[in-house]
Amino acid sequence: MDVRAKARNLSVESTRRPGRRVVIGLLVLVAIAAVIWLAVTLVHNSSAGGPGGGRGGPGGRGGRPATTVGVAAASQADIPVTIDGLGTVTPAATVTVSPQVSGTITQILFREGQMVRKGQALAIIDPRPLQMALLQAQGQQARDEAQLTNARLLLQRDQTLLAQDSIARQDVDTQAALVKQLEGTVTTDRAAVGTARLNLGFSRVVAPVSGRVGLRVIDVGNYIGAGSAAGIVVITQINPIDVEFTIPQDEVPRLQAQSAQATLPVTAFDRTKTINLDQGVFSTLDNQVDTTTGTVRAKARFPNAAGRLFPNQFVNVRVNLQNLRGAVVVPVTAVRTGADGDFVWKLNPDKTVTMRKVVRGPGTPTTVSIVQGLQVGERVITEGGDRLTEGARVMLPGDKPMPQGGGRGRGRHRRPGQGGGAGGAGGGVAAGGGDQPAANAPGAAPQAAQGGGGMGGGAPNPAMQAARQAMMQACAADAKTLCAGQQGRELNMCLRTNADKLSAPCKDAMAKMPRRGPAGGGGGGAGPGA
């Protein structure tokens, strides 16, 4: 019995399922039909108006408000072609001043950090031992010279006796050899005297080069050996001075070609590239490329008369290769980069803009040359070009804003019960109402009855103007702080974006601003009003 009951239940459920599916499908179709009917009704109601007459007149052209932009005209100027690099200042010479004789330092004749000239005395070593050595050498020389004089006299006497055959030749030869020996001794004595005199001069330590002395290494009273590695002081030659910098290996051929024709001027700037430290000339290139960085070391020499370059200082170097004569130049901000390369927004006579592709050339920090795509005198957009599109209308500083219009009216003769012409394209406010809601817009009914498409802006709304003036007064300080330099619609958007940062009076004034009405349509037909 249980098996039969279960079988009957299964058969009943299988017969009920198709019926449920049919009911669900019908409900879905009914819901879809209701949605379609509701949409059609809404569209019909939004376009319905009074009975239409003849074809309506053309409506005013609507659209986004014109963007205020900055403009500059392409001009002609000479543009320097340069190569920039990062360099390090290196002294032309670095010398450790060490004495050439040993002794005790008795005087220091320089101040730390002082500029010294070549040959200027820096220190004095006790000269007394050296003076004694000189006297000793001179005494030895005098004794040997006296012996030489005596030997020469004896030689002359022996030669006379030999002529008389009164002395053996061997004695004469021996005396002649003694004279030669004493002559050599005297020569040695003379050298010893010269050495002693030279060492005495070395007791006065002088600067081997001109430059700036550093911190002294030794004080008065200390004994210092000849050729001491530490020395007395270090002198760095900074007039002139060198700067070693690197340039990309791809720039080497161009640099070599230009340097072979003329002396290339080089400018040294500080880290910010704003302060000109000194002007110099290009010296030479290294003989190999750094494989790690792909650069080549170069050197330039600067007179550094003002002493603004210090050893081991980091500087920015600019090598001037040549000057482009009569190049077409525009401000750097005028050139933009898109998917197809560089371009500018060209300003047309009717204050619309056109995208113009250009080829960028060399430039300066403020201007850039245009190799192709622009002529002298053509005006380009320099500021406010980020939101522009092809054919967009712009405003120049000082221009009065144009009133906003409604859409193009295209009303045709319609049957009674149908509305006026379909609203045209555009972003104007409701007809006759300005910024007031369309339901309360004064003059809306007469405008529809007459059917002249006209401009949707109509007469200005005094309430809206008063509220807007009150808002601008309350938000003046906020606009100056948060939205400096912005006007009109951009200022309004900036204030709303920074709503959390606004002052309380500004927030209250913005909250009291009436809302804008719906977008205005075109003119209606020339029939009677509703």
Give the pLDDT confidence score for residue 166 in this predicted structure.
Answer: 83
How many other β-carbons are positioned within 10 Å of the β-carbon of residue 141?
A: 19
Span of 197-211, 274-288, 331-345, 430-444 with lowest mean pLDDT: 430-444
**Confidence band, pLDDT 50/70/90 cuts, at residue 299:** very high
Q: What is the CATH number of domain 239-318?
A: 2.40.30.170
Three-class SS state of 392 = coil
pLDDT reading at 449 higher than 60: no
Beta bridge partners of 101: none
Report the C-alpha gap between 182 and 462 in whole angstroms. Answer: 129
Domain 90-224 has CATH 2.40.50.100: yes
Q: What are phi and psi of 290, to 5 degrees?
A: -75, 110
Q: CB of 377 within 8 A of CB of 74? A: yes
Handedness of CA 20, 21, 26, 31 (dihedral sign): positive
Burial of 9 (0-12, 13-18, 19+ CB in 10 A): exposed
Which of the two residues, 73 and 501, has the higher pLDDT score? 73
Where is mean pLDDT largest: 17-21, 218-222, 399-403? 218-222
Give the pLDDT confidence score for residue 331 in this predicted structure.
Answer: 93
Report the C-alpha gap between 225 and 45 in whole angstroms. Answer: 111
Give the pLDDT confidence score for residue 322 in this predicted structure.
Answer: 86
Give the pLDDT confidence score for residue 104 in this predicted structure.
Answer: 95
How many other β-carbons are positioned within 10 Å of the β-carbon of residue 372?
A: 10
Helix (H) or strand (E) holding 80: strand 75-97
pLDDT digits (tens, 9 = 90+) for 476-527: 877 877 777 677 777 777 777 777 778 888 888 777 776 554 444 444 443 4
Report the C-alpha gap between 437 and 458 in whole angstroms. Answer: 13
**Beta strands at 379-383 and 75-97: parallel, antiparallel or unpaired:** unpaired
> How is domain 68-82+326-395 classified at the CATH fold level?
2.40.420
Buried b (16+ CB within 10 A) or exposed e, 191-223: ebbeebeebbebbebbbebbbbbeebbbeeeee
Evaluate if pTM is beyond 0.75: no
Spell out the residues 6+ positions from residue 420 whose beta carbon is closer than 8 angstroms to its own.
Answer: 49, 50, 52, 56, 409, 411, 414, 448, 451, 521, 522, 523, 524, 525
Amino acid residing at 99: P
Which of the two residues, 363 and 303, has the higher pLDDT score? 303
Q: What is the DSSP code string of 472-528?
A: HHHTHHHHHHHSTT--HHHHHHHHHHTGGGS-HHHHHHHHTSPPP-PPP-----SS-
Q: Name the residue among 483, 509, 485, 508 with its Cα closest to residue 497.
A: 483
Token pair of 524 as six digits = 């209606």
Spell out the residues 6+ positions from residue 465 whose beta carbon is closer than 8 angstroms to its own.
Answer: none
pLDDT digits (tens, 9 = 90+) for 181-203: 999 999 999 999 999 999 999 99
Report the C-alpha gap between 411 and 522 in whole angstroms. Answer: 7
Token pair of 297 as six digits = 């070391």
Query: Taking the CA of residue 112 as centre, how many other CA atoms within 13 Å lie in the half-sphere pointing to its CB?
Result: 7
